[in-house]
Structure 1
């Protein structure tokens, strides 16, 4: 990738090793950024954003239960992910950092800032992090189905080879106009053996359900938002996981949340969906500009 050299490291955490990608700038690094992916994603959601951050060292873990961290033992949940982020910074000798989270990664970023306030300078939350408008009292399966829909159903599917999985994604409405070589690498990286001679997505349904329930019904994120002390910039997309409107945050719901948190800076990004806001050039340029601006802002502000 132009401007960065890509490598991975394994960071010891509770239950095993966390796979962490590091993009070192080919020029002298002027800043660091921590990138946290979504609920069924991996660190390879971020290359479009990284290539638009010249001079910045980008650090992006595969969250436990995803990508090359899919075999980690022990529970998931927002607290476990936050502890893994702290271990990642320790392994790289980073005291504090700007944290960018997409989708569930935005909720993880918020939890991390709450539990480890001295490790976080500023937050950029991309189409996530703020409470979702979901009915109370749903069981785990109903909650996952209501939020993720076909994204959760994909986790139980099996594929004969990477080509079949690529074909599945080519028909996905979110990427019909945004197919790239980077996306193909992201898709192929997601596959792991299912133990019966076929391939499956790396993220298990059980892990997805555990995290989805925690981020929507657990107390940690409510406390984190109520006690938010870090400068926070939120970006939202008008279309959702299936390129549908209104996306994760209906305007009326979002307006109510933001009215309760006037210090949060919000920006609605037009003409993009939940995926393409980070995994396509147009969205990545917008996200990267916000990140560059946040990196250029003194930590004390």
Structure 2
């Protein structure tokens, strides 16, 4: 049994243990546990304003929990030195909800930015990498466009190319489908899954878009009120015993969550949580 234990542990790229995090008096997470398995697409879902983006910031080390641990391959992110955290972030790619491209930089410069920050590669190799990343998201030849010249869908795909510029082991998507039309949502859904399959990426998707996320996720956590309300494969969650989980997945007005109360409770807290 002892010889098998290390092999079991290596299946988890991220382990969250006893995590508690507050913003002033508001409890965002209250003693939660979850695991992000290597090579899987894990979704963190829940109503707007419940702290899904905050969880990504905790994993990235931008925020420090009041209690608990966030382990990256067994090492506590909150205890890492500045140098260790910089190296850990090189293993992570992040697609921000807004895309967050540098507006005064071309597409080429946006994608080259993390490569230059974390490596000392010569410019000819950087150029080849930029071209490869753009090709992987279906935007070959877009290197010298400016962000203002991109459509919303193109902006999101350029941001995705930048997120995978360093061939990360983990990629995190913050509301990748928000504000996109059905065609772009379909393109992004296919891209997320194909990149995961081609690169064996460990993937975290934060979203409240049920259909798109459930179609590509291997495992799902549903969070609200500081707790994990349900977890499992998409198939398991569709028959989950929790009335809250069923209300969320089905978009029902009737259920344990009072819509008007929920809106008042999370008003002014959605940004950054």
TM-score (ref. length: structure 1): 0.26
Structure with the larger RCO, 1 or 2 (CA within 8 Å, 6+ apart): 2
- Look at both structures and tell me which one has the larger radius of gyration over its CA atoms: 2
